[in-house]
């Protein structure tokens, strides 16, 4: 076979300018006119390898046994006239909508009949009990500030329609939303309903829906009373288009920053897209942590060695960034999604998916029922099946299903996009002739630098294949059937191979990962390699708590305290770092089962010790994670210790002082 070269420009096109939406190869998929890429059916994607193992653990863990987390997951949820015991009508609907959406997608990805039927019980009950006089769904949520859960629960119907094409769903949602006005969706999180309103417009072409969506966003921007439901109690505000540093509740901000981008995808008005892009850019500048999520212990908190994040955002972040990636085609957003999921997401759960934190952090040397650094309930940093507020317990079920369903996208000219990486396969119709093609992604990514894409088809087909080139990879190589593709490959973009594919074709992607020292405030340093942050894993003494109110014998809460030294500074000479690969069997994210470690020279910090402080809520002294000292005192000799992937840890240190040699 001839080596591919720049003379093959007809067969291969690099970095195509994408100015139109993809050909609709499935009539049920809503593909906005101005989106660069679009979703494919979730059932076209098959998780494999460690990703499938994660999803199976999720099913046998909390997702398949959510009642262990207590109220409101131990009720009938949406499948009843009114959720039992609720004092605020919208509150338990929000938490359970999160969970049902995650369980729904998980059931489809695993083709699990029990999960699918459990979700069907919820969604069908609601469709069967629409108010016959008004046409509204769940009239319990009609009042101001109570309409937000619609936006979460109705994602189930969006997914169902894309899979089944059931027009009953469209008719019901269409009638429902037309009973409201734009002002009804201008308040705070209620604006999130613009996602569904635009989606319905794309299917029905009813201009009234698009007018409502644009008017709701215009009203939202027009007065702070729409942007801060506290009505002055807090001075925070949401302004995506301005230079104002984001100071709002992190979940609210991340849910809503996608809304102007969605409006752009249906209208082509570029100012909308610019606002969304500015909104995420300034959030990253002022709040992004090494874990891949912004500091968001309820409200944004800036960047520091003690900053953490709410576990809700492990789901909200990849969902929102995935939307914007599909709309503007920015490959760098794929990097952000991977980093958030592989680090913050996996680092906020026990590896059996039976418990999770409400607040999680890059530096957490203790996780007990009393160690929470960020206010509110003292137990929020403990690993438990449920917490005092139930939102994270619902949302944690969504972050990996959201990741998997966005690994593969559709592109113009019935093309295919490998947007997020990991072991999986996709079977879908491609090319002008709509030929069924299966592409299998064989890899141990993110532990491996190599990915093989293997193609299977009954007949040859021409289509563009887009491959995300990570921004962190400055020497990526691509080969086709063993021969190097001799074309420019630009990091942080999508490389496009436009050719006639044949059964048995193999594309190999090699992305060398370099160790990077990332610098943080107060002269701190972190270790990163590819999409992974690396942490010092703290061995722990673990107290199993089965009498915690949101736990059980089989799903206990845990109190974890350190059982070894952890107070190290890093000698920041990268030549002394050694990457070591390990042959493992089983699940690669299990603690102690690391496919890759980095041996790093460190020195102990004498004045960095766990702190004991008075907790006003508990009215007692408790131990908490300490800040890195401004003037660290280094003692002893240089030691070499193993750093491991952040997502493999529960207790960890991820930011360190730099060792200063005298």
pLDDT reported for residue 88: 72
**Which CA distances in Å does 396 have to 13, 99, 276, 450, 625?**
40, 8, 25, 29, 24
The per-residue pLDDT for 615 is 87
Whole-number Å distance between alpha carbons of 316 and 360: 15
User: Domain coordinates of the chain in residue numbers?
Assistant: 6-21+410-510, 515-657
Please, what is the angle between helix 155-164 and helix 167-177, to 10°?
A: 150
**Residue 422 has what pLDDT?**
98
Token pair 């082509």 is at which residue?
Answer: 268
478-523 pLDDT per residue, tens: 999 999 999 999 999 999 999 999 999 999 999 999 999 999 998 9
Over its C-alpha atoms, the chain yields an Rg (Å, rounded) of 25
Q: Quick one: pLDDT at residue 431?
A: 97
Q: What is the DSSP letter of 224?
A: G
Q: Does position 233 have pLDDT exceeding 60, yes or no?
A: no
Which residues are CB-neighbours of 255 under 8 A, at least 6 positions away? 151, 189, 192, 316, 320
Average pLDDT over residues 406-413: 97
Q: How far apart are CA 179 and CA 462, in angstroms?
A: 46
In terms of Cβ atoms closer than 10 Å to its own Cβ (0-12, 13-18, 19+), residue 217 is buried
| pLDDT (0 to 100) of residue 478 | 98
pLDDT at 499: 95
For residue 29, the model assigns a pLDDT of 73
Q: Locate tokens 């990915």: which residue?
A: 451
Tokens of 27: 């009539």
Under the banding of pLDDT at 50, 70 and 90, the label for residue 13 is very low
Beta pairing partners, 558:
383, 544
CATH number for the domain formed by residue range(s) 6-21+410-510:
2.60.40
Give the range among 35-39, 230-234, 273-277, 493-497 with minimum mean pLDDT: 230-234
**Tens of pLDDT, residues 198-222:** 999 999 999 999 999 999 999 999 9
pLDDT(4) > 60: no
Q: Of 305, 180, 405, 171, nearest to 625 (Cα)?
A: 305
What is the pLDDT of the chain when averaged over all its residues?
Answer: 93
**Sign of the alpha-carbon dihedral angle for 139, 140, 143, 144:** negative
How many Å apart are CA 610 and CA 604, to the nearest integer?
14
Could you write out the DSSP letters of every residue in 380-401? TTSBBS--SS-HHHHHTTTHHH
Statement: residue 550 has pLDDT above 80 = yes
pLDDT on residue 31: 87
CB 628 within 8 A of CB 524: yes
Angle between helices 270-287 and 259-267 (to 10 degrees): 160
Separation between Cα atoms, residue 349 and residue 386, nearest integer Å: 12
Peptide bond into 657 cis (omega under 30): no
Residue 448: closest CA among 52, 50, 46 = 50
**To 10 degrees, the CA torsion angle through 252, 257, 259, 261?**
-170
Phi then psi dihedrals of residue 461, to 5 deg: -150, 140
41-97 pLDDT tens trace: 999 999 999 999 999 999 999 999 999 999 999 999 999 999 988 777 899 999 999
**pLDDT reported for residue 19:** 37
Closest C-alpha among 214, 117, 200 to residue 162:
200
The confidence score (pLDDT) of residue 160 equals: 97
Average pLDDT over residues 390-407: 98
Task: Convert the pLDDT of each residue in 181-201 to its tens digit.
Answer: 999 999 999 999 999 999 999
If 0-12 CB within 10 Å is exposed, 13-18 middle and 19+ buried, where does residue 616 land? exposed
Residue 656 CA, chain-centre distance (Å), reads 26
pLDDT at 20: 37
Chain segment 584-643, per-residue pLDDT in tens: 999 999 999 999 999 999 999 999 999 999 988 888 999 999 999 999 999 999 999 999
Residue 231 predicted with pLDDT over 70: no
Condensed to tens digits (0 to 9), the pLDDT of residues 16-33 reads 333 333 344 455 677 899
pLDDT at 86: 78
Phi, psi of 297 (to 5 degrees): -85, 75
- State if pTM tops 0.85: yes
């Amino acid at each position: 076979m001839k080596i591919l070269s720049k003379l093959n420009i007809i067969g291969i096109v690099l970095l195509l300018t994408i100015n139109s939406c993809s050909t609709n190869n499935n009539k049920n998929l809503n593909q906005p006119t101005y989106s660069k890429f679009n979703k494919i059916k979730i059932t076209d994607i098959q998780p494999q390898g460690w990703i499938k193992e994660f999803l199976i653990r999720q099913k046998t863990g909390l997702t398949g046994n959510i009642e262990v987390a207590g109220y409101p997951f131990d009720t009938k949820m949406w499948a009843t006239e009114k959720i039992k015991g609720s004092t605020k009508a919208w509150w338990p609907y929000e938490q359970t909508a999160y969970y049902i959406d995650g369980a729904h997608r998980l059931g489809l990805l695993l083709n699990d009949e029990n999960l699918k039927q459990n979700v069907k019980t919820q969604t069908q009950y609601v469709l069967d009990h629409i108010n016959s006089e008004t046409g509204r769904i769940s009239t319990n949520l009609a009042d101001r500030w109570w309409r937000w859960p619609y936006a979460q629960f109705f994602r189930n119907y969006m997914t169902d329609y894309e899979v089944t094409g059931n027009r009953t769903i469209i008719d019901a949602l269409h009638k429902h939303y037309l009973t409201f006005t734009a002002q009804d969706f201008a308040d705070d999180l209620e604006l999130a309903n613009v996602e569904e309103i635009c989606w319905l417009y794309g299917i029905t072409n009813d201009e009234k829906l698009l007018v409502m969506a644009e008017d709701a966003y215009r009203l939202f921007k027009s007065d702070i009373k729409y942007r801060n439901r506290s009505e002055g109690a807090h001075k925070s505000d949401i302004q995506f288009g301005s230079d104002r540093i984001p100071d709002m509740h992190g979940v609210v901000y991340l849910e809503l920053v996608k809304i102007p981008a969605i409006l752009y995808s249906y209208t082509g008005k570029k100012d909308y897209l610019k606002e969304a892009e500015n909104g995420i850019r300034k959030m990253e500048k002022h709040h992004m942590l090494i874990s891949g999520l912004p500091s968001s212990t309820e409200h944004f908190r800036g960047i520091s060695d003690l900053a953490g994040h709410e576990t809700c955002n492990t789901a909200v972040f990849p969902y929102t960034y995935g939307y914007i990636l599909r709309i503007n085609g920015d490959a760098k957003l794929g990097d952000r999604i991977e980093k958030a999921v592989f680090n913050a997401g996996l680092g906020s759960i026990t590896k059996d998916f039976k418990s999770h934190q409400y607040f999680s952090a890059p530096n957490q040397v203790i996780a007990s029922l009393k160690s929470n650094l960020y206010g509110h309930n003292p137990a929020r940093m403990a690993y438990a099946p449920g917490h005092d507020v139930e939102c994270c317990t619902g949302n944690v079920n969504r972050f990996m299903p959201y990741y998997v369903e966005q690994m593969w996208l559709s592109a113009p000219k019935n093309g295919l996009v490998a947007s997020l990486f990991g072991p999986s396969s996709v079977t879908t119709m491609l090319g002008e002739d709509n030929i069924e093609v299966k592409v299998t992604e064989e890899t141990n990514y993110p532990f491996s630098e190599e990915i093989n894409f293997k193609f299977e088809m009954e007949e040859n087909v021409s289509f563009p294949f887009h491959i995300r080139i990570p921004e962190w990879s400055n020497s990526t190589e691509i080969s086709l059937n063993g021969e190097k593709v001799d074309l420019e490959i630009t990091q942080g973009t999508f490389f496009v191979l436009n050719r006639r594919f044949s059964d048995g074709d193999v594309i190999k992607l090699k992305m060398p990962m370099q160790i990077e020292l990332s610098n943080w405030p107060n002269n701190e340093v972190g270790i990163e390699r590819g999409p992974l942050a690396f942490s010092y894993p703290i061995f722990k003494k673990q107290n199993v708590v089965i009498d915690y109110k949101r736990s059980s014998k089989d799903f206990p809460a845990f109190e974890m305290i350190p059982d070894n030294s952890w107070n190290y500074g890093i000698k920041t000479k990268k030549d002394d770092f050694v990457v070591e690969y390990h042959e493992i069997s089983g699940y690669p994210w299990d603690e102690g089962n690391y496919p890759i470690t980095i041996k790093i020279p460190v020195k102990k910090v004498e004045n960095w010790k766990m702190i004991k402080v008075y907790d006003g809520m508990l009215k007692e002294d408790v131990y908490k994670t300490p800040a890195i000292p401004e003037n660290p005192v280094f003692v002893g000799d240089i030691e070499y210790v193993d750093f491991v992937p952040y997502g493999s840890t529960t207790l960890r240190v991820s930011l360190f002082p730099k060792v200063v040699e005298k």
